[in-house]
Structure 1
Amino acid sequence: MEQHVDVSLPDPLSGCSAVQWIPVRSLLPADSPRTAGEDPAHTTMLAALDAQLPPIIVHRATMRVIDGMHRLGAARLRGDDLVRARYFDGTEQEAFVLAVRTNIAHGLPLSADDRTRAMERIIGSYPGWSDRAIAAAVGLGPRTVAKFRLRMQREDRADEARTRTGRDGRTRPVHNAEGRLRASELIRERPEASLRAIAREAGVSPSTVRDVRLRMERGDDPLPPARRRRDDSSAPVATDGRAGPDLGAILQGLQSDPALRFSESGRVLLRWMFSRAIRADEWVDVADKVPPHSTYIIANLARMCAEEWRQLAEDLEQRGAQQA
């Protein structure tokens, strides 16, 4: 059986040492996903802040900065001899993934081109990672990763693995149809089993199991018509997996961004984000509480909200591309 890389993505700081002071002169430039380098204006802004900046992250084996080149630049502008830092112990590939994750979570955001290049590099380093795991690392959508991976495969004529490992370390089928069919078999064998129990065994999400069960109760095929057409044509489909990016880590990163924490407009934005972000699987408990007569009303409301978030994401990505 093929061995898959463990791609669980915990809190970025969980693998780092405690904060300590290290000499500024001992640090080397980052192996950064930021191809255009540092923004001098952002460095100058940080240097002018009176508040203590968050510690930088340093790859202990190479002494390269993983996260915090702007903060390091600010320390140099102020003439500081020491800078607060955390050490990361891991491979250079792991250090690069951490650099991408921390740079999309706070501070000066990565451009769309930077994230695309990072995605290509991570796919090359970890071909067994799922689309959602890579999407969580680079801050892009799973569909974008899937399309890019397919283009790479066509160019390289590489064979795609039948399974990929998600962010939680579980191996799941590339094609959702396999998971749906397995879920339908388990539902027939154990109709009393919970959604989560079936989902774990079939390698799909609880929402997929719920949909399969409803279809079976109506006497329908477990596979939706659109899914059957995609699978019959051998077109790639997004892998199942639990929610996309780690929202807790992203929100925590935004909260530690000095440009947001120490300005009134930034604090307003943080409060707005925290009040509206839905963390992984929160919706599952909500869905169970919806009365039958309100099901379609709330489903439409959810789609309307999702559309507004999608438009916001596209607008921000366009602005980021224009500023790059």
Structure 2
Amino acid sequence: MDHQTVRMHPDGSSERLLALKDALRDAPVERVRLADLTASFTPRSGGVDSEWALTLAQVESGLPPIFVHRPSLSVIDGLHRVRAARLKGRTHIQARFFDGSRQDAALLAVMMNVTQGRPLPVADRIAAAERIVAERPQWSDRAVAVVAGLSAKKVSELRARLTGLPRCERRVGLDGRTRPLSTVRARELAGELLRADPKASLRTIARQAGISPATVADVRDRLLRGDDPVPPRQRGLATAGRGTREAREQEGRERAEETRSADELFAMLESLRRDPSLRLNEVGRSMLRLLDACALIAGDRRRIISNLPPHCADQLAGLMSGYSALWQLLADELRTSTDCRGAAR
């Protein structure tokens, strides 16, 4: 039979995993014998919930196709639907197939069970995150968090408790790009390159130093102010020794201190609202509406935290971490685009 193949991208990044999950939804639907299926990828420590399977068996309308790893015929997502089909006396079920590796199929099983169907319990998400960190220690906390349905902070805590992990000087982020754990040396190199060629573009310096254009922009601003290209606390972090609990806590405090206050953000938004070039542009108006929603979150953060259902907290935090990474990616690309246009003039 001529099958459409859906495979994992060789870099194995979580961004590619997200793209793969979307691609699987468009894979052709095929019939597979229930007797041929196995369940080696389930992230559910409690197995199939019999009551939930019985509820699905009573649904009159057709259930969505399951997802199956073709080489092993193991179910990636849909064990409850498989049980429901058996309860109804069926011998076959509709399925979409994945032709990649077993490791990638296991990651997809976690991601799909987190985001659809019967919610994956928090304990199982934590166990899955620990397995991912152990198997792919080069992934960033945010990348693991998006797959496991947790917050990046929670993944960082889990990573700190795990022993025997290989030391990774660089991490693969949610966007698939590799970045150094410490940017001290990269910032110093960016500073040297900017001093040698002040007119060089942010993108060029970023590529040579191995950091983001946004970090290069910060280095450039620090140099213009006569400051060290490396923030004092970050330089202290490097000498104190990366990887220690104290160092990680100090790094977290530094990130928090670099975050702008809500009042500063409101002032910046008000300035943008007054810009007619944004108000008269369809994309500009859409961006202002999105930023209005962000302003509501900034102003009502405490009320939101205190009123959301506790059992949704980790999953919401994981989703927000993923979107925050996409916002950061957009910010980096905007800075790079602005720099390139300025260099072209």
TM bucket, shorter chain: 0.5 to 0.7
In the TM superposition, what is the alpha-carbon distance from 1:67 to its structure 2 partner?
0.5
Stretch of structure 1 that moved more, 195-204 or 40-49:
195-204
Listed one character per residue, the Cα deviations across residues 135-173 of structure 1 (whole Å, up to 9, x for unaligned) are: 222122223323322322xx33x5412112234443210
In the TM superposition, what is the alpha-carbon distance from 1:86 to its structure 2 partner?
0.9
CA distance in 2, matches of 1:49, 1:178: 60
Task: Please identify the structure whose Cα radius of gyration is greater.
Answer: 2
Alignment-derived partner of residue 311 in structure 2:
316
Alpha-carbon distance change, 26 to 159 in structure 1, aligned in 2, over 3 angstroms: closer
- Name structure 1 gaps, 5 residues minimum: 239-286
Alpha-carbon distance change, 289 to 38 in structure 1, aligned in 2, over 3 angstroms: same
CA distance in 2, matches of 1:197, 1:143: 32
- Name structure 2 gaps, 5 residues minimum: 1-9, 250-266, 275-290, 316-345
Alignment-derived partner of residue 220 in structure 1:
227
Checking the alignment, whether the CA contact within 8 Å between 2:111 and 2:147 is kept in structure 1 is yes
Q: TM-score, normalized by length of structure 2?
A: 0.63
In the TM superposition, what is the alpha-carbon distance from 1:28 to its structure 2 partner?
1.5
In the TM superposition, what is the alpha-carbon distance from 1:304 to its structure 2 partner?
3.5
CA distance in 2, matches of 1:44, 1:160: 47
Which residue identity lines up with residue 20 of structure 2 in the other structure?
A: D
Alignment-derived partner of residue 233 in structure 1:
240
Which residue identity lines up with residue 119 of structure 1 in the other structure?
A: A
Checking the alignment, whether the CA contact within 8 Å between 1:60 and 1:87 is kept in structure 2 is yes
Checking the alignment, whether the CA contact within 8 Å between 1:43 and 1:71 is kept in structure 2 is yes
Alignment-derived partner of residue 59 in structure 1:
69
Checking the alignment, whether the CA contact within 8 Å between 2:149 and 2:314 is kept in structure 1 is no
In the TM superposition, what is the alpha-carbon distance from 1:118 to its structure 2 partner?
0.9
In the TM superposition, what is the alpha-carbon distance from 1:191 to its structure 2 partner?
4.4
Alignment-derived partner of residue 50 in structure 1:
60
Alignment-derived partner of residue 283 in structure 2:
none
Alignment-derived partner of residue 277 in structure 1:
none
Q: CA RMSD in A?
A: 3.8
Between the aligned residues of both structures, percent identity stands at 38
2:155 to 132, 145, 150: 145
Listed one character per residue, the Cα deviations across residues 267-290 of structure 1 (whole Å, up to 9, x for unaligned) are: xxxxxxxxxxxxxxxxxxxx9987
> How many matched pairs?
264
Listed one character per residue, the Cα deviations across residues 181-239 of structure 1 (whole Å, up to 9, x for unaligned) are: 4444454455455555555554444544444444333333333444344333224459x
In the TM superposition, what is the alpha-carbon distance from 1:65 to its structure 2 partner?
0.6
CA distance in 2, matches of 1:14, 1:37: 27
Alignment-derived partner of residue 14 in structure 1:
23
- Residues 1:114 and 2:124 aligned together: yes
CA distance in 1, matches of 2:223, 2:307: 37
Stretch of structure 1 that moved more, 221-230 or 98-107:
221-230
Checking the alignment, whether the CA contact within 8 Å between 1:5 and 1:129 is kept in structure 2 is no
- Residues 1:291 and 2:286 aligned together: no
Alpha-carbon distance change, 308 to 204 in structure 1, aligned in 2, over 3 angstroms: farther
Checking the alignment, whether the CA contact within 8 Å between 1:47 and 1:77 is kept in structure 2 is yes
CA distance in 2, matches of 1:96, 1:146: 21
Checking the alignment, whether the CA contact within 8 Å between 1:119 and 1:138 is kept in structure 2 is yes
Alignment-derived partner of residue 266 in structure 1:
none
CA distance in 1, matches of 2:118, 2:89: 22
CA distance in 2, matches of 1:14, 1:201: 34
